[in-house]
């Protein structure tokens, strides 16, 4: 089966069809690449800013959040040692990971930070799938973070200015997600 990114022209492509290189270097119609990049930008902005807002609730008490003291109390109540340290780690992971996703900056690591944090949330909160006590929201956020780490940020991202990440590689995203999952597992093992 031929690749969907093959460089052959489609029968519909006239001589005036503009072509560009996709993030993996294959030739695709410029309009398709622009749509792909715009879709990734919307996903990055919504997920990234949502996570940054959650992190700022933990760190600063913004948006009716508990701040460090309230978040530390919660972490202690669900069995994490050193609740204040865990509140800082979770708040920074969500805030910096979210801002990284929104900007498309160090996208594989930003996605892994959000992914790892949400793995902890899923493990602690698991009580079924559906609301009000379910985890469908957290699962959706974790999946979106993993998807962005794997696909890359698209061309409308700060990563385009970084030589190592200019052309996204699947291996960068996969390695970052493994790192996020391992760190999340270690943190979960620390729980009482």
Query: Which residues are CB-contacts of 24 (< 8 A; sequence separation ≥ 6)?
Result: 5, 167, 168
pLDDT digits (tens, 9 = 90+) for 98-147: 999 999 999 999 999 999 999 999 999 888 888 777 899 999 999 999 99
Residue 10 maps to a domain: no
What's the pLDDT at 164? 76
pLDDT digits (tens, 9 = 90+) for 11-33: 455 445 555 555 556 666 777 78
Helices H / strands E in the chain, number of each: 6, 2
Residue 30 maps to a domain: no
Q: Three-state SS for 162? A: coil
What's the pLDDT at 22? 55
pLDDT exceeds 50 at position 35: yes
> What is the count of structural domains for the chain?
1
CB of 165 within 8 A of CB of 60?
Answer: no
Residue 100 maps to a domain: yes
What is the C-alpha to C-alpha distance for residues 97 and 83, in angstroms, rounded to an integer? 20
The torsion of the CA quartet 107, 50, 56, 189, rounded to 10 degrees, works out to: -70
Strands 19-21 vs 27-29: parallel, antiparallel or unpaired: antiparallel
The whole-number average pLDDT for the span 75-101 is 96
What is the C-alpha to C-alpha distance for residues 46 and 60, in angstroms, rounded to an integer? 21
pLDDT band at 192 (very low <50, low <70, confident <90, very high): confident
Q: What are phi and psi of 20, to 5 degrees?
A: -140, 165
Residue 137 maps to a domain: yes
pLDDT band at 8 (very low <50, low <70, confident <90, very high): very low
Highest mean pLDDT of the ranges 4-13, 49-58, 153-162 = 49-58
What's the pLDDT at 7? 42
pLDDT band at 167 (very low <50, low <70, confident <90, very high): confident
Burial of 163 (0-12, 13-18, 19+ CB in 10 A): exposed
What's the pLDDT at 9? 43
What is the C-alpha to C-alpha distance for residues 65 and 50, in angstroms, rounded to an integer? 13
Residue 156 maps to a domain: yes
What's the pLDDT at 6? 42
What is the C-alpha to C-alpha distance for residues 42 and 46, in angstroms, rounded to an integer? 6
Q: Three-state SS for 20? A: strand
What's the pLDDT at 149? 96
The whole-number average pLDDT for the span 143-167 is 90
Give the domain extent around 131.
41-189
Q: What are phi and psi of 156, to 5 degrees?
A: -95, 65
What's the pLDDT at 169? 83
Residue 121 maps to a domain: yes
pLDDT exceeds 90 at position 10: no
């Amino acid at each position: 089966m031929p690749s969907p990114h093959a460089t052959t022209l489609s029968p519909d492509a006239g001589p005036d069809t503009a072509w560009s290189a996709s993030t993996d270097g294959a030739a695709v119609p410029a309009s398709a690449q622009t749509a792909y990049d715009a879709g990734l930008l919307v996903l990055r902005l919504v997920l990234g800013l949502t996570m940054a807002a959650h992190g700022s609730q933990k760190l600063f008490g913004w948006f009716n959040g508990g701040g460090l003291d309230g978040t530390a109390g919660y972490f202690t109540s669900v069995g994490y040692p050193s609740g204040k340290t865990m509140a800082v780690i979770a708040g920074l992971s969500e805030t910096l990971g979210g801002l990284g996703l929104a900007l498309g900056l160090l996208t594989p690591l930003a996605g892994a930070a959000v992914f790892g944090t949400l793995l902890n949330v899923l493990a602690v909160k698991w009580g079924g799938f559906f609301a009000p006590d379910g985890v469908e929201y957290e699962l959706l956020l974790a999946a979106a973070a993993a998807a962005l780490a794997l696909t890359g940020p698209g061309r409308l991202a700060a990563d385009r200015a970084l030589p190592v990440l200019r052309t996204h590689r699947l291996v960068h995203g996969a390695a970052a997600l493994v790192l996020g999952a391992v760190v999340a597992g270690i943190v979960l093992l620390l729980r009482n």
